[in-house]
Amino acid sequence: MTVTAAPLRILIGKVGLDGHDRGVKLIARALRDAGMEVIYTGLHQTPEQVVTTAIQEDVDAIGLSILSGAHNTLFRRVLELLSAQGADDIVVFGGGIIPNEDVPALKEAGVKALFGPGTPLDDIMRFVKELPRSR
Amino acid sequence: MTRFGIHLNKPVDSESTLAERVRQGQVRAVARLITLLERGKQEGRDALRLLEADTSRAAIIGVTGYPGAGKSTIIDQLVAAYRRLGHKVGVLAVDMTSPFTGGALLGDRIRMQQHALNPGVFIRSLATRGHRGGVAAVTGEAVSVLEAAGYDVILIETVGVGQGELDIAVVAPTVVAVVAPALGDEVQAMKAGLLEVAHVIVVNKGDHPDADRTLRELNEWHRSVLKVTATTGEGIPALIAAIAEQQRLRDLEGAPTRAAP
């Protein structure tokens, strides 16, 4: 078997202190089954680790799961660090417990999409498959 | 330089500037060139050709073995040990691409994330993308990129192998095979394949009750067998010494020379 089209590479991980990884593992596996290369970093990553890893792995997108309540700080820090590295072509999206009132400001800051509890997996897969492939 | 040792990037490169940035060790350029080579792009091959004079000075060490034997954890420990010796370390961690979906879950670096912010460490996960033999087709070229970027030690983790995935022996002049205790009797060690291409065999999970028996049995069949407990680091200094000894013997035999780390 030869794979011809270059698969999308997506970093999936958890930043911050919460250890609830059932959701993030489900997403990682669904992306794998949708034909993507998933770089799974596991729990308790710092924004600095995420951004350095994303650059070494040359990913197209970063998907972060945050259930700790620290989403406003953590997403912004990841976006800032990407920008500082000249890597703001990498798409950032996320999921977890993110109150509706925080969503517009995070999108304004550059988070491309946020998927809350109960989002059908198909919606997330459709979003990822439609990511720009300009890189 | 920024605080991560990564330079700011320009979006488009000609081959010569990409090659130049790789030669300077710029992480984004290294990562991008590996991607271009992985995709079989001509611009990647052109850049690599400009770099080839800078290669063949690193110590290239393949780490192979059965799924779950502890390859990633051993590499995590080797990275720490080689960093303490002052070497820049590159890691290429290979995992399987699904033959059904074309997707892959690249999870080796979970065990290595303590090094993620170390500017002397570069870790790249590679999917096999249909290549058989235990490594990705791009592995050899990715090694050349890391050599040109100034990495002194390059560790390659194969997929979890069975008996027949031996391509690592083509890419790496030093091969370490990792086995776990109690996975089979002595006859397994007599069979052709994995243990034949290994220069050093590591019995990992050395705190397992069957570790000493496995060590004894393998000792009958191979001249360099070591017991390691990767989770604690016990036995890692002896593994570093065994790798250096293998490199010294190979250099004495007049094989293509590579600096021992």
Partner-chain contact A56 B31, CB within 8 Å? yes
Question: Token pair of B220, please?
Answer: 């009958």
Count of all residues that appear for chain A in the document: 135
Q: Which residues of B touch A53 (CB under 8 A)?
A: 109, 113, 116, 123
> Domain check: are B46 and B78 in the same one?
no
Q: Nearest to residue B201, comparing CAs of B171, B246, B250?
A: B246
Count of all residues that appear for chain B in the document: 261
Partner-chain contact A55 B101, CB within 8 Å? no
> CB of B98 within 8 Å of any CB in chain A?
yes
Nearest CA in chain A to B91: A56
Q: What is the number of domains present in chain A?
A: 1
Query: Is B16 domain-assigned?
Result: yes
Q: Give B149 to chain A, closest Cα distance, Å.
A: 13
Q: Nearest to residue B126, comparing CAs of A92, A21, A135, A6?
A: A6
pLDDT digits (tens, 9 = 90+) for B208-233: 999 999 999 999 889 999 999 999 99
Confidence band of A2 (pLDDT split at 50, 70, 90): very low
The CATH number of residue A115's host domain is 3.40.50.280
pTM of the model: 0.91
DSSP state letter for A5: S
Q: What's the burial of B153, exposed, middle or buried (CB within 10 Å: 0-12/13-18/19+)?
A: buried
> CB of B249 within 8 Å of any CB in chain A?
no
Cα(B112)–Cα(B124) distance, rounded to whole angstroms? 11
Cα(B177)–Cα(B246) distance, rounded to whole angstroms? 14
Partner-chain contact B127 A85, CB within 8 Å? no
> CB of B96 within 8 Å of any CB in chain A?
no
Query: Is B261 domain-assigned?
Result: no
Cα(B111)–Cα(A70) distance, rounded to whole angstroms? 25
Q: Give A133 to chain B, closest Cα distance, Å.
A: 13
What is the value of ipTM here, to two decimals?
A: 0.92
Residue B84 CA neighbour count, 13 Å, CB half: 9
> CB of A123 within 8 Å of any CB in chain B?
no
How far from A37 is each of A76, B129, B248, CA to CA, in Å? 25, 10, 38
Give the torsion sign (CA, B62, B65, B68, B74).
negative
The CATH number of residue B202's host domain is 3.40.50.300
pLDDT digits (tens, 9 = 90+) for A54-102: 999 999 999 999 999 999 999 999 999 999 999 999 999 999 999 999 9
> CB of B89 within 8 Å of any CB in chain A?
no
Query: Is B195 domain-assigned?
Result: yes
B11, B28, B54: which is the final residue of a domain? Answer: B54
pLDDT at residue B243 greater than cutoff 80: yes
First to last CA, chain B: 27
Cα(A67)–Cα(A95) distance, rounded to whole angstroms? 8
B34, B54, B74: which is the final residue of a domain? Answer: B54
> CB of A4 within 8 Å of any CB in chain B?
no
> CB of A88 within 8 Å of any CB in chain B?
no
Q: What is the number of domains present in chain B?
A: 2
pLDDT at residue B10 greater than cutoff 50: no
pLDDT at residue B261 greater than cutoff 70: no
Cα(A67)–Cα(A75) distance, rounded to whole angstroms? 12
**Helices B236-252 and B71-84: angle between axes, nearest 10 degrees:** 80
DSSP state letter for B10: -
Q: Which residues of A touch B99 (CB under 8 A)?
A: 1
Residue B96, domain extent? 55-252
Residue A75, domain extent? 9-129
Q: Which residues of B touch A38 (CB under 8 A)?
A: 103-106
Which of A7, A48, A89 lies nearest to residue B102, judging by beta carbons?
A: A7
Q: Which helix (H) or strand (E) holds A93?
A: strand A91-96
How far from A73 is each of A15, A21, A80, B61, B194, CA to CA, in Å? 11, 20, 11, 40, 48
> Domain check: are B123 and B69 in the same one?
yes
> Domain check: are B143 and B85 in the same one?
yes
Cα(B252)–Cα(B261) distance, rounded to whole angstroms? 16
